[in-house]
Amino acid sequence: MSAKTIDYTPVGGVCSKMIHAAVEDGKICEVVFVGGCHGNTQGICSLVKGMPVDEAIARLKGIDCRGKGTSCPDQLARALEQVG
């Protein structure tokens, strides 16, 4: 089975300008953020690699950054919802 991928443009004024995600057999096999705080986004990518998509969405969805109503992790959850 081949990986499903998405190139997602975040909304809501977060620092990341693009999120690339790949999912295979229901697990995250790759995440790359363009822009944002490099250390934090690199940490997120490392933590979610190999994680089931549903678990990552449950953990990341709703995280808020500075009252924006969203964040880079929340935007990753939204991207993962689309790629499933």
Q: What pTM was estimated for this model as a whole?
A: 0.95
* CB distance 72 to 15 below 8 Å: yes
Q: Grade residue 2 by pLDDT with cuts at 50, 70 and 90.
A: confident
| Residues 33-56: tens digit of each pLDDT | 999 999 999 999 999 999 999 999
Torsion of the alpha carbons at 6, 69, 49 and 33, rounded to the nearest 10: 60
Q: Residue 35 sits in which domain range?
A: 4-83
Q: How many domains does the chain have?
A: 1
- 38: CATH: 3.30.390
